[in-house]
Every structure is written in structure tokens, then in C-alpha cells.
Amino acid sequence: MRIFPRLAGLPLATIFLLAPLFRLAHAQDSAPKCTFTISSISFGTVDVKNGRPYDATGTLTYACTGEPREIVRICPSLGIAADGTRVMTDPTGNKLVFNLYSDPSRITVWGSWYDKSVKAPSIDVPISRSQTGGGTATIYARLDPNQQSAATGVYTSVIKGNNSAFAYDYASKGSCQSPIKGAGARVSVPVSITARVGDRGPSSQPIVAPDATHTTDPGTANVNTAPPPPEKKSLWQKMADNAKYQQQQQNNAAAKTQSGSKPLCKMSDSDVHLVDGNWAGPNCIAVDANGKPVHPEEVQQQAESQQTQQRAEYIESHSCMTTMGADKANDLAQKCSRATTGSHAGCSAQQNTCDEIRDATQHGCDRLGASAPDFCFTN
């Protein structure tokens, strides 16, 4: 049997008496150590007048070190009121009721292991061969509905100190049902919860924060969802719509001509591959080594087909015949035909807007000069 150098001169009985002390020292050196952080939980701006709940989340992050192949058990206790709820307050003492949960359905309240009825979840962390382990857990929050009387302003709550006590030790030392007190470690992990109550009137819709979602209002099940009747527009409104459409077509024409209905392939795309030296894929247009379309004529055809379809959809409700009526539209079309050629594409009362017909007429009058019809000089 190998004897440690410092014990070589001691009697065997003395060594056996010292053995428990060595085991205790080893156990103390190998005790687990954990660190924790909890992100702030923000409901954003809420409209309590609609009587709906608002949801938000926070993230608990934990990292532990310990003996390989051991399991560290974490008992995360967040203090809770005797009635099982939590509140935020504004600077004047007004209250806003909310709660924290351990499940996404917001059913199981995240409580404390020191509470008689509302418990907290336990978290087991396996320690790897590198003597480390960690992960994250989501804390789900919900602002209670039916708080229409809450005053506007900023509400906050901070759970800290003894109300946020995280106990941990090896799982072999015990369960969270009887929290580890003497042997395990315990730290306080503060978490802040905030919400801003806005004043947007009794009929306003809920404002959902970037990190929040609200549940569906059950009262909307019997609401009539039929679309409203189409808005009646004046002639000037229709002309403004047409001008806006034409401007948008001009701004997008160059981009559509280049890219069509699909984007150009990029070498960094996950689903592209080399085909005859070109980058190609099922969801993009093949390009050569310089990034230019391999078949520009196909790109052009795609763009033209897309523009034709969009044009047909637009002209269906914006043709001169639709916006001006048959008599006025036909009168404009006849003058256009007299100033241009009878088959000019811009003179159709059914296929052109009134502005397009007027533009074609003006160009025809300018081209004819002194030989133009009389109406060219009177308009």
C-alpha cells in the first residue's frame, strides 16, 4: 500500500483517525458553485381599458461547476403574496396585478419552496466531464385582465433579497421539497418587472410590446366580421390613386426587370450549387461568376409577365370607362384617336386610365403641330 510522504512516520491507527477529516476537506473543495442572472421582464405599453391580459417573458440563465457526472439541483424561489398574486406599483402607490409562471400556458404559478402551497420549479443541471454545466429557463409573465380602473403611468416591481433566494447543491443531498439549508449554497437573484399603462380611450385596441403577446379576446367570437362596403371615391381621389400607381411602376420597373419574381442566386445561399460554372438553385435565378443573370431574356420575360398581371388587376378598377362613365370616356378616346393613330394603345377607354388617354392625346397634338385638330388648341 502506498503511504503519502507526510504520513509515512505516523502510526496506522492515527492515519485511520485522520481519514474522515481528509474526506471532509475533499467534500468541501468539490462543492458545486453556481451563478445566475435573470433578464428584466417588460410588458411594454398596455391598454387596460380593453380588459385583456398581456403576456411577457424573462430568461433565467444559470452556470454551475462541480464534480463530473454529478447533478446539481437548483431550487429557484421567487417570493409571492399570501393570496398567490404579485403586484407592480406606480410612484403614487397605485397597483397593477400580474403573476409569474413556469409554463407557457400560464397555469402553474412560479412560487417559492418556502411557501406552503405555491411552489417553485426545480432545475437539475448535469455536470459534464469538464466539470461544468448550465442552461436557461423561461419565466412566463401575465398581466391580469379586467384592470380597467388602473391609472396611467409606469408600474414596477423588483423581487430581491430573501424573496429571491436560489438554493442549490448536489441532487444526492436532498430535494427542493425540503430545501437544502446547511450544506448547500444560497444566493439572491433579483428580477425587475415593468409595465406602462397608456391612456388611449375606451375603444382602443391593445398595444403589444415587442417581447409580449396577448391572448385572443373570447368576446370576438360572435362579432360580425363581414368586410365593410367599398369606399366611394371622388374623381380627384381616383386620379390621385392613378398617379400614385404610375409613380410606383416607374420606381419598381428597373428592379423588376433585373430580378423578376425570384431573387438572384448568391454563393452564400444554402440551397445553391454549381451548374456548368454558374450558381443555380430552385428558389433563385441562376447567375454567372460576376453575379449577372445567366439567362437575361428569361428574367425579362418573368418581369414582363408580372407587370402584365399587375396592370390587369389595376386597370380593372381604374379604367377611364370605370372612373368617368361611358359617355365621357368615349369622348376622350375619340379625341385621342383623332390626334394619334386609330390603333394607338393609349386611347382605349377600357384598357387605359383617363390620365393615360389625355397624355396620349397631348403627345399626338404636339406631334401634329399646326395640322392638329381644333380641340388641340382649345384644351
Cα–Cα dist 242/91, whole Å: 54
* Angle 323-325-328 from CA coordinates, rounded to 5°: 110
Helix or strand (DSSP H, E) at 283: none
What's the order of all strands across the beta sheet hosting 284-287? 273-275, 278-281, 284-287
Query: How many Cβ atoms are within 10 Å of 217's Cβ, its own excluded?
Result: 15
Query: How many Cβ atoms are within 10 Å of 10's Cβ, its own excluded?
Result: 13
C-beta of residue 286 within 8 angstroms of C-beta of residue 275: yes
Cα–Cα dist 300/277, whole Å: 22
* pLDDT of the residue at 156: 95
C-beta of residue 43 within 8 angstroms of C-beta of residue 209: yes
* pLDDT of the residue at 140: 94
- Pair type for strands 273-275 and 278-281: antiparallel
Cα–Cα dist 64/128, whole Å: 10
Cα–Cα dist 65/81, whole Å: 33
Residue the block writes with cell 404610375: 246
Model's pTM, two decimal places?
Answer: 0.48
- What would the grid cell of residue 320 be? 377611364
Question: What own/partner pairs with CB < 8 Å and gap ≥ 24 does 277-280 have?
Answer: none
Picking from 201, 173, 205, 200, the residue whose alpha carbon sits closest to that of residue 186 is 173
* pLDDT of the residue at 201: 46
Amino acid, res. 131: Q
| Collapsed DSSP state (helix, strand, coil) of residue 218 | helix
DSSP character at residue 188: E
Amino acid, res. 215: T
Cα–Cα dist 163/114, whole Å: 10
- What would the grid cell of residue 97 be? 396585478
Phi, psi values for residue 124, rounded to 5°: -100, 130
C-beta of residue 78 within 8 angstroms of C-beta of residue 161: no
| Collapsed DSSP state (helix, strand, coil) of residue 147 | coil
Q: Per-residue pLDDT tens, the chain, 379 aa: give them.
A: 444 444 555 555 544 455 555 444 444 458 899 999 999 999 999 988 888 899 999 999 999 999 998 999 998 989 888 788 899 999 999 999 999 999 999 999 998 877 777 888 889 999 998 999 999 999 999 999 989 999 999 999 999 888 888 989 998 887 887 655 445 788 999 999 999 998 754 433 433 333 333 333 333 333 344 555 556 666 666 666 766 666 666 655 544 444 446 777 776 676 677 676 677 777 788 877 677 777 666 656 666 666 777 788 788 778 888 888 888 888 888 888 888 865 667 888 888 889 888 888 888 888 887 788 888 877 5
In DSSP terms, which residues pair with 226 in a beta bridge?
A: none
Q: Which residues, including other chains, have CB under 8 Å from residue 286's CB and lie 6 or more apart?
A: 265, 275, 278, 279, 280, 293, 294, 295
Q: At what angle do helices 235-259 and 354-368 cross, to 10 degrees?
A: 80
* pLDDT of the residue at 234: 63
Phi, psi values for residue 329, rounded to 5°: -65, -40
pLDDT in tens, 135-186: 999 999 999 998 999 999 999 999 988 888 898 999 888 788 765 544 578 8
pLDDT in tens, 86-108: 999 999 999 999 999 999 999 99
Q: Which residues, including other chains, have CB under 8 Å from residue 51's CB and lie 6 or more apart?
A: 145, 146, 147, 148
- What would the grid cell of residue 21 be? 477529516
Cα–Cα dist 191/368, whole Å: 80
Cα–Cα dist 181/179, whole Å: 6
